[in-house]
Each structure stands twice: as structure tokens, then as C-alpha cells.
Structure 1
Amino acid sequence: MNCIIAGQNIVKIFGKDNEQAKALNGVNVEIKKGEFVAVMGPSGSGKSTLLFALSGMDEITSGSVKFGDTELSKLHENTLADIRRTKMGFVFQQPTMLKNLNILDNIILPAMHEGKKNTAKLTQKAKALMKKTGIAGLENRDTTEVSGGQLQRAGICRALMNAPEILFADEPTGALNSKSAEEIMELLVEINKEGTAILLVTHDAKVAARADRVLFTKDGNIVSELPLQKFSGRGMETRGEKILAEMAAMGI
């Protein structure tokens, strides 16, 4: 598999002068095309900062982040925004939806760009994604008229509108009950099987157990990595236990 995202010696410092805090401390990481990678670690370990750095959503202090052959840090913000919009998808713990738009319009909105796209085709694609993700029939509902799990599915639909090469997910199940969380993870696994790479940040071993491998962060570094393919013939419970054991061994 070819590499889709590669970070070399990534440093991210917040603050100035005596109030500086190093969130990432020379991180090296690669995500291959079609790969599903989870990132785990204690609060403040750099998990989300790493996701934001690799996606170009946050400017790094030093180092290199490449999307394919493109160095993200050298791009103009408008070009970088175009790459995020057309080649990357984003799913967060709390989907950011406009309250004055219904579910369908919220899904379509980010795919609209200066009125150059065919609204009818976008509507057709959005409805197909809603059917695929199990929320068909909710097109005209307000964002306050659906459950948290349904709203998260709508957020995933929105993220997939431009057929991204990679999906960045930051605690996508964090605000959901266990049943909804399980359903969302099954959906992400299916999306990954269809060829979309996924980088997912989570604190939940059950969620991370769905990935191909898990990266563990501590004090701004990736301190360990656990390939899960070798446990593919075993249940998710066994994979979760392996993750917890690895975390315990590292004291995180």
C-alpha cells in the first residue's frame, strides 16, 4: 500500500515565551492508503493535536506533513482548504450542523462551492448516502428532531459527500450511548472496507479494536504501536483486551 499521509519530526508548540507547551515532540507517523488507524492515549497526550496536524487543520511549528506527494505546510490556505474539502472528510464528537437547515441541506452544504455544483446531483448523492447509513426518511427533519446517533450518521454522510481519500474522526462515538457507538463503528468499518483510509482518535479500547493498528501517545510522542491484523480471527473483546494490556504496560 502507498502512503497517503506522512508526518516527519512533527513539533507543535502552543503559547509563547515562558508559557510554551509542546503538544507534539518530533512525531513520525505514516498512514497508508485504505488503512484504518486508531490513536489512543491519556488526556493531553497529543492525540487530537496529531489529527489536526496531519489533516492540515492546524499549522505545525516544525517538521513535515505530506498528503501523498504534497507538502501541506507549503500550501496557501485556500489551496489547503480545497484539499481538505475535496480529498479529506472530518467527523467530530459533536457534529457541527446549522440549526436553520434541515438534515439533507446540512449534508449537502459543504459540497456546494460557489454555486458551481449541480444541486440535483448533490441531493441524489446525499439521499443515497443517507440510505446507506440508515437514516433515509430524515431528510426534512430539523437537527433537533433526530437522535445523537442519527445526527452523527448525518455528519458521516456530509464527510463522504466528496468521496474523500481519508476520513479523520475525533472521538466520533464519545457523545453516544453504547448501542449507537457500536452502530457508528460498524458503519466506519464498512466505509474503510470500501477503500477510504481512516485515522480515528478515541479513548475507548472497544472503538480502537476495530482498527488495523493502534498508535499510543504519551507526552506528545508516539510511544508504542499495536498491529491488530494478527488478531483478526479473534473477537473484538480479545482485541480490546490486547489494547488495554498494552496501555497498562506503558503506564497510560
Structure 2
Amino acid sequence: MAVSSLSLNFASKPFTYNLGVRGWISPAECAAVSITKCSKIAALDEETQCAVSGNCKRRALILGMGALTLNPLRPNLLLAEEIPAKYDIFVDKVDGYSYYYPSDWRDFDFLGHDSAFKDRSLQLQNVRLSFIPTNKTDVRDLGPMDEVVFHLINDVYSAPNQVADLLDMQEKNIDGRNYWTFEYVLTSPNFSRAAFATIAIGNGRYYTLIVGANQRRWRRYRNMLKVVADSFKVMEI
């Protein structure tokens, strides 16, 4: 497995950057990525809405090895590397992706997402994955990485009452496919949430994986959640 990476680190001096909506994402794509942001119907971010309302629906699709929380057989043949201790793997053979998640997390329904897992006691500590159709073939087709990332965290991922700070962004190439992973914080009047997002394009789909936690717990759980963000891979279907 060939892996190369490029990292631009802003952790020493977080900043906020507001970028207007670019033409590279259509209204339909925008709605699919973030119903909350694009429709302007709520001031809270998706995590808070889910935790408060409990009305989160996703298409539950577990095929083949699927979610292996209760399965002692580890599908090591599906990925080139070993699954780390204290993690399980979710594999969706139909939609073409996989990622690790902490073994003690459980799956749950998250509005507009294909799969999601969360900490059993901490609602805002979760990972979720969504995808939308696209005619792009690579994340670089979206535009310069810094502009795309700034647009996403300010205009798609954040709610109107949130301030977005970018901490770090990285590009890596695995088996010829480019992945962008970036770390950011969304600050609301009452709380802040930190997260990693990894995006990639393949199979005619634009995939987005987001894993995060309350910022007060970020220092403690950051490295654990980075494993999840880095584990996301797209499979040919």
C-alpha cells in the first residue's frame, strides 16, 4: 500500500476565515452535505439537534462483515494493516467505504448520514459518514485545499451562530487516491466542539467522515479520534 502525505499545521495559531460560497458545489450537493446549514432552518449544529431531538434517521446498511462490535472475527483481509487494539471496523461493501471506530461505541441513526457510531454516554462524541453524488474524480478537482476547507468549516459545517477555527489540514495519498483530513473547532455561545473531517472522492461519490467531541474533552480524546479520521478508506465498487 503506497501512502504519501502533506501537512499544513495551524495549531499554534488558530484563526477564522470566512469564504463565500464557491461555484463548485451545487445546491443539491450542499443540501445533501448539510441540511442544517444550507436550508438555514436551525441555529444549532447537527450534533446538538440530534442529541436534543433524538429524531435522527439514517439508512442502516450492514452487509458482509458489516459492523463488528459483537463479532470476534476480525476482517484483517479487508485492509492491508491490522486493526488497532480497542477498535472495530465498519465496512460497507455496497457503498464502498470502511473506517475504524472505538470498540465500546454503538451505532445510531444520524439524520442524513449513511452510518454513525457514538460513545455510549457522551452524545457529542461520535463519528458519522455521508456521501453525495458527484462528477468529480478527485478531491483536488474541488479546488485548492485551503479554500475548500475554509469554505466547508465556515459555510457548510458550522451553524449561523458558530465561529469556525481551523487548526490543521493534511493531504495523503493511499493507493493513488487523495484524502484531505482537517482539524477544526466550532464555537457556539454555550459550548464548543472540536472535530476531524476526512473527505475523499471515488465511485462517483463525494464522501465525508466527521469524528469529534466536546472541546473540553478534546485534549484527552484527540489522538483516539485521529485514528478514526485516518482510517477512512474508499473501496472500488
Range class of TM-score, shorter chain: under 0.3
**More helix as a share of residues:** 1
TM-score (normalised: structure 2): 0.28
Larger-Rg structure? 1
**More strand as a share of residues:** 2
